[in-house]
């Protein structure tokens, strides 16, 4: 055996001996960890190994904060993964006209509900938020009444929710309940037919005011469709669809409740461009003064008119062979109608004649139908 082979064998034996020693030390360490009193040392060893192998372990507060379900955050303050999920929602601030519409509706509802109940009623707007339809249905406190209404001109639906406090308050007022006492609330029973009919009358009043509030922006008629007490039967959109939620507060001295209206974005899509305005009648940069001036100048613009006696189709050879003195015969007689055109578009039709020393055309009919064909 050569010297190089002997040196290689010695190195290999030394490496194997080192591996065996490392394996024995690992086995002794495991036995020592497992033999601790009460198993505490073994648990600490496993936790330390987990921290070294897979990184730091998160506690429950850190997990809640990461997912965006921190209980200490304010309503509407979304964080973490929850904020990423809801990032597709269009903030209602991008539709500034909604504030003007529902502020006008609140003033109208205060007057209408006072006339409806003959009581002192104050309606206030709590907030306007963007939600997902499925999340809103799951958050409705029951018992409640859910009214599905239809926007006829927009060909879509909306949802109105009346909570139990407002229902019993309105029923108590309409049926002559005493003032100064809170409405009696009976749990564990469905709403009676009388209660539903009274609430339907109130819903009709609210829908009429809502139609009047949208009138300056876009004429629309909100009609009552049906009344439900189970949120599953009031589904008007898919659960992940975004919607606008408007929360109103109705106070009747020491009684009252909440009234909420929900519009899916698909319902408001026909008037989305109008809702983007910052004030009523905004023209997005258009200047009405210049529009009026341009229209006045256009009416005074001179345009050339051409009287076409006849049209013929010739080949290129025939056109190239035209000579001086050659006669072109028109297929028109003095009694035939002649087209008068502007820029190649037929405008009117008339008869050719003479006025003094000039050739004239008497207009007989307009050719608006042919102009539409050109358009």
Q: Is the fold of 95-275 the same as that of 302-374?
A: no
Q: Is the pLDDT of residue 118 over 80?
A: yes
Q: In the chain, where are the structural domains located?
A: 63-87, 95-275, 302-374
57 vs 175 pLDDT, higher one: 175
Beta bridge partners of 248: 125, 259
pLDDT, residue 355, reads 84
pLDDT, residue 51, reads 44
212 vs 343 pLDDT, higher one: 212
| Bond before 143 cis per omega within 30 degrees | yes
How many whole angstroms separate alpha carbon 41 and alpha carbon 28? 14
pLDDT, residue 200, reads 92
Closest to 33 (Cα-Cα) out of 25, 20, 24, 42 = 42
What proportion of the chain, given as a percentage, has pLDDT over 70? 71
Name the DSSP class of 218: -
Burial 142-178 (b: 16+ CB within 10 A, else e): ebbbbbbbbbeebebbbbbbbbbbbbbbbbbbbeebe
Name the DSSP class of 301: -
pLDDT, residue 100, reads 86
Residue 191: half-sphere exposure toward Cβ, Cα within 13 Å: 24
18 vs 343 pLDDT, higher one: 343
Q: Is the pLDDT of residue 74 over 60?
A: no
- In degrees and rounded to multiples of 5, residue 363 shows phi and psi of -70, 130
User: What's the alpha-carbon Rg for the chain, to the nearest Å?
Assistant: 41
Name the DSSP class of 283: -
255-264, strands of its sheet edge to edge: 122-132, 242-252, 255-264, 156-163, 144-151, 222-228
CATH superfamily of 302-374: SpoA-like (2.30.330.10)
Q: Longest Cα pair distance anywhere in the chain, in angstroms?
A: 137
pLDDT, residue 161, reads 92
How many whole angstroms separate alpha carbon 141 and alpha carbon 162? 10
Q: Is the pLDDT of residue 99 over 60?
A: yes
231 vs 183 pLDDT, higher one: 231
Report whether 345 contacts 371 (CB < 8 A). Answer: yes
Convert the pLDDT of each residue in 229-255 to its tens digit.
888 888 888 888 888 999 999 888 778
Closest to 69 (Cα-Cα) out of 54, 86, 89 = 86
pLDDT, residue 270, reads 86
pLDDT, residue 147, reads 92
Beta bridge partners of 355: 358
Token pair for 80: 């973490």
Convert the pLDDT of each residue in 257-299 to its tens digit.
889 999 998 888 888 888 887 665 555 455 678 888 888 888 8
The pLDDT-based confidence of 70 (bands split at 50, 70, 90) is low
370 vs 50 pLDDT, higher one: 370
How many whole angstroms separate alpha carbon 10 and alpha carbon 14? 6
**Interior CA angle at 139 toward 134 and 142, to 5°?**
120
The pLDDT-based confidence of 73 (bands split at 50, 70, 90) is very low
The mean per-residue pLDDT over the stretch 101-117 comes to 89
76 vs 247 pLDDT, higher one: 247
**CATH code for residues 95-275:** 3.40.1550.10
Burial (0-12, 13-18, 19+ Cβ within 10 Å), 374: exposed
Q: Is the pLDDT of residue 32 over 50?
A: no
CA of 311: how far to CAs of 216, 307, 337, 372, in Å? 54, 11, 13, 21
């Amino acid at each position: 055996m050569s010297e190089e082979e002997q040196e290689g064998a010695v190195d290999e034996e030394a490496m194997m001996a080192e591996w065996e020693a490392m394996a024995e030390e690992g086995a002794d360490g495991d036995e020592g960890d497992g033999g601790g009193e009460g198993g505490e040392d073994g648990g600490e060893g496993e936790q330390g190994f987990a921290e070294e192998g897979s990184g730091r372990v998160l506690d429950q507060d850190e997990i809640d904060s990461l997912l965006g379900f921190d209980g200490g955050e304010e309503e509407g303050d979304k964080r973490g993964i929850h904020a990423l999920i809801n990032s597709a929602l269009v903030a209602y601030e991008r539709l500034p006209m909604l504030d003007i519409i529902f502020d006008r509706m609140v003033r109208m509802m205060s007057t209408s509900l006072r006339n409806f109940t003959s009581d002192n009623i104050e309606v206030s707007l709590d907030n306007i938020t963007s939600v997902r339809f499925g999340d809103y249905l799951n958050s409705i406190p029951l018992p409640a009444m859910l009214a599905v209404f239809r926007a006829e001109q927009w060909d879509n639906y909306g949802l109105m929710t009346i909570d139990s406090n407002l229902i019993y308050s309105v029923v108590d007022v309409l049926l002559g309940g005493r003032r100064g006492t809170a409405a009696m609330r009976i749990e564990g029973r469905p709403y009676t037919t009388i209660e539903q009919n009274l609430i339907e009358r109130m819903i009709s009043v609210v829908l009429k005011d809502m139609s009047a509030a949208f009138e300056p922006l876009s004429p629309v008629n909100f009609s009552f469709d049906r009344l439900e007490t189970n949120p599953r039967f009031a589904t008007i959109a898919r659960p992940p669809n975004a919607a606008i939620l408007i929360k109103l507060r109705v106070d009747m001295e020491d009684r009252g409740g909440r009234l909420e209206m929900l519009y899916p974005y698909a319902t408001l899509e026909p008037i989305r461009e109008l809702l983007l305005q910052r004030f009523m009648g905004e023209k997005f940069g258009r200047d009405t003064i210049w529009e009026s001036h341009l229209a006045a100048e256009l009416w005074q613009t001179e345009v050339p008119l051409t009287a076409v006696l006849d049209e013929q189709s010739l080949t290129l050879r025939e056109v190239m062979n035209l000579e001086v003195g050659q006669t072109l015969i028109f297929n028109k007689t003095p009694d035939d109608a002649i087209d008068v055109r502007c820029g190649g578009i037929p405008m009117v039709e008339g008869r050719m004649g003479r006025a003094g020393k000039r050739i004239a055309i008497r207009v007989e009919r307009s050719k608006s139908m042919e102009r539409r064909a050109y358009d």
